[in-house]
Amino acid sequence: MILVTGANGQLGRRIVQHLIAREPGLRGRRLAVSVREPARAGDLAFRNVLVRHGDFDQPETLPQAFAGVLRLVLVPTDGPAELRLQRHRNAIRAALAAGVGHVLYVSGLEADMTPATPFSRVHQETEALLASSALPHTVLRCPPYSDALPGWFAPALTDGTLRVPAGDGVLSLVSRDELAQAIAAAALAPRLDQRIHRLTGQAAVGLADIAARIARVCSRPLRYEASEAADPTDATEASTSLFAAIARGQFAALSRDFAALVGHPPKSLDCLIHEYFAPRSLA
């Protein structure tokens, strides 16, 4: 049985949808989810997915949630860094105790950042916990979601300038849905490998270049200006940590791991920008 945690979240739900699309026969007793509020997963139950209650803040719910699981897709939780780490510790301990066969941890490309920020440390320490455990595991390191682009740039379209502390860093972006597709493909591999997959986009570009491409699509002036960086090792905001990671080139490296899992590369940056920013036709 494959079990996906966090399936009421946006990534987790998409992973389940891609699992079903790739292998419809999983439904029945071979596909399960663990969620904090089972009532919100009624559509999955309707589609014959086993819905279990599992809350990493309530470790007593996890033995039941993880019972009989061969492959566990561990979706990281949201919230403050320390709390997330404690939840991941609880989940890994429970997976070990329940005899889970293999864990696929959805990590971030910032996991090996030095010095670490509070947020990059969540992935770093979760990966380290898995490495020091007896659990066979695969790590799927994700770049920032391209879905964040409208949130970053749409407000800047008003005054024409995006000011964030990302320096001259370049990054690759992949959409949340495509990452879910790659994670589902990894979970369905006939033989699971114990390695780190880097699910990067096709190209790494800087925010100035991204601004210029969005400006072309929107026919509006838009530029990027690097603002002064706060101390990222002290970050209480995930965004401070993220922009610091971009500035340090943490999302610059490119890999073919996405295509190796899915069978084709992820969408190009221009394609994504067109999806998010092209004026919609009224027809």
Ligand X SMILES: NC(=O)c1ccc[n+]([C@@H]2O[C@H](COP(=O)([O-])OP(=O)(O)OC[C@H]3O[C@@H](n4cnc5c(N)ncnc54)[C@H](OP(=O)(O)O)[C@@H]3O)[C@@H](O)[C@H]2O)c1
Q: By CB under 6 A, name the binding residues for ligand X.
A: 5-12, 35-36, 55-57, 75-78, 87, 108, 142, 144-145, 176
Contact 103, 75 (CB under 8 A): no
Minimum distance from residue 87 beta carbon to ligand X (Å): 5
Minimal distance in Å, beta carbon 61 to ligand X? 9
Q: What is the largest CA-CA distance in the chain?
A: 58
**Mind giving me the DSSP string for 41-92?**
GHHHHHTT-EEEE--TTSGGGHHHHHTT-SEEEEPPP-S-HHHHHHHHHHHH
**Residue 129 contacts by C-beta under 8 Å, 6 or more apart in sequence?**
88, 89, 92
In whole angstroms, the minimum distance from the beta carbon of 35 to ligand X comes to 4
Kindly report the number of other CB atoms within 10 A of residue 164's CB atom.
19
Shortest gap between Cβ of 282 and ligand X (angstroms)? Answer: 31
**Run of H or E including 142:** strand 137-142
C-beta of 77: minimal distance to ligand X in Å? 4
Contact 18, 181 (CB under 8 A): yes
C-alpha span between 119 and 238 (Å, rounded): 6
**Closer to ligand X at the Cβ: 108 or 165?**
108
Nearer to ligand X, 26 or 81 (CB): 81
Question: Is the Cβ of residue 105 or residue 277 nearer to ligand X in the bound state?
Answer: 105
Closest distance of CB 115 from ligand X, Å: 20
CA distance 262 to 24: 17
CB of 168 to ligand X, least distance (A): 21
CA–CA dist 249, 189 (Å, integer) = 31
Alpha helix ranges (H) inside 108-237? 118-132, 149-153, 156-159, 176-187, 207-218
Q: Do the Cβ atoms of 134 and 128 come closer than 8 Å?
A: no
